[in-house]
Amino acid sequence: MKLENKAIIVTGASRGIGQEIAFLLAQNGAKVVVNHSNSEDEANATVNKIKSNGGNAIAIKADVSNREQVSQLFDKTIKSFGKVDVLINNAGVMISKELKDNTQEDFSKQFDINVRGIFNTLQEAECKLADNGNIINISSSTVKLMFPTYALYSASKAAVEQMTRVFSKEIGRGISVNALAPGATETELFLKGKTDEFIAKLSSMNAFNRLAKPIDIARVALFLASDDSKWISGQVIGANGALV
């Protein structure tokens, strides 16, 4: 029970990688906040599954791009669990288009959620995260790749990585701040619309000839959320099977 009595916010935790992280943290004793912006049914189902397995979790709706809602997310967590020990910034969106085809709205949506969202939660964590806590910002291995159609998404994640590095030296109070950069991961949202040929191509680009499973990423998040990782801070941890 590496995380016993730790209160952890996981943004965007109603599905995919965030959901798997929430499940694994709860299995290891954490009190988990399953955050969502508009997936109430899925968030409640995630909470119910955690509780049915003997864990402790609540669902809180908040749009991370909205500063006031982020403040309420932290306040409600503290009201329910007494503190926030760990923040995992998983919420994000990806719009895959060639640069010339992106609209102003495409740009704003990705940067509002992927970048402003983390800016908002880090500002709240500055004063509301407990001493000696942990922050994990989910980035992407696309930052190191030149994948066509990923220009804006990878640019937004590059911003996340740089904020991670700088904020790790600013926050103090024994708090570690790291980014976790998954490679291609087998989630419903990721697989949607992709051909078998494209998935096979992605799989062949790493050393294991397969896509990651969400649990592969969740296990790294578990380590970074625990005290075992305390001396790691300001780093970007690639979880991509030697993709890059």
pLDDT at 97 over 90: yes
Mean pLDDT on 48-54: 98
Q: Is residue 241 part of a domain?
A: no
- Which pLDDT band holds residue 3 (cuts at 50, 70, 90)? very high
Residue 188 has pLDDT above 90, yes or no: no
The catalytically annotated residue of 31, 39, 153, 233 is: 153
Residue 183 banded pLDDT, cuts 50, 70, 90: very high
Query: Considering the domain boundaries, does residue 2 fall inside one?
Result: no
Q: Please return the burial class of 151, using the count of CB atoms within 10 Å of its CB with bins 0-12, 13-18 and 19+.
A: middle
Within-domain flag for 238: no
pLDDT of the residue at 112: 98
Residue 71 among the catalytic residues: no
Report yes or no on 38 lying in a domain. yes
Res. 1 pLDDT band, cuts 50 70 90 = confident
> What are 103's two structure tokens?
């609209």
Q: Does residue 239 lie in a domain region? A: no
Taken in order 55, 58, 59, 60, the sign of the CA dihedral is negative
Residue range 118-155, pLDDT digits in tens: 999 999 999 999 999 999 999 999 999 999 999 999 99
**Pick the catalytic residue: 14, 39, 65, 140?**
140
Query: Considering only 26-40, 186-200, 212-226, which range has the smallest mean pLDDT?
Result: 186-200
Q: Would you give the distance in Å from CA 211 to the centre of its chain?
A: 18
pLDDT category of residue 193 using cuts at 50, 70 and 90:
confident
How far is it, in rounded angstroms, from Cα 151 to Cα 148?
7
Q: What is the CATH number of the domain that holds 32?
A: 3.40.50.720
Torsion angle (degrees, nearest 10) of CA 226, 231, 233, 235: -100
Q: What integer pLDDT is reported at residue 238 of this predicted model? A: 98
Domain count, the chain: 1
Per residue in 9-28, pLDDT (tens digit) is 999 999 999 999 999 999 99
Residue 1 CB burial class (10 angstroms; 0-12, 13-18, ≥19): exposed
Tell me which of 65, 139, 154, 168 is the catalytic residue.
139
The domain of 100 spans 7-232
Is 150 among the catalytic positions? no
Task: Compute the average pLDDT of residues 33-44.
Answer: 98
* Distance, CA of 9 to CA of 19 (rounded, Å): 12
pLDDT-derived band at 189 (thresholds 50, 70, 90) equals confident
Residue 84: both structure tokens together: 């926030």
In a domain, residue 67? The reply is yes
Long-range own/partner contacts, residues 103-108 (CB < 8 A, 24 or more apart)? 106/152, 107/152
pLDDT for 191 beyond 90? no
Q: Quickly list H helices, the chain.
A: 16-27, 40-52, 67-81, 104-111, 117-128, 151-170, 188-191, 196-204, 214-225
Q: What is the mean pLDDT of residues 28-43?
A: 98
Q: How many CB atoms lie within 10 A of CB 198?
A: 12
**Helix, strand, coil percentages in the chain from 3-state DSSP, rounded to 5:** 50, 15, 35
User: Average pLDDT, stretch 57-69?
Assistant: 98
Q: Is 153 a catalytic site residue?
A: yes
Q: Over the Cα atoms of the chain, what is R_g? A: 17
How many other C-beta atoms are found inside a 10 Å radius of the C-beta of residue 127? 9
Mean residue pLDDT of the chain comes to 97
Q: What is the pLDDT of residue 149?
A: 94
Catalytic site includes residue 141 = no
Residue 237 domain-assigned (yes or no): no
Smallest CA-to-CA distance from 137 within 220, 68, 63 is with 220
Is 243 inside a domain boundary?
no
Give percent above pLDDT 70 in the chain: 100
* Dist. CA 62–CA 38, nearest whole Å: 8
Which residue of the set 157, 168, 176, 229 is catalytic? 157
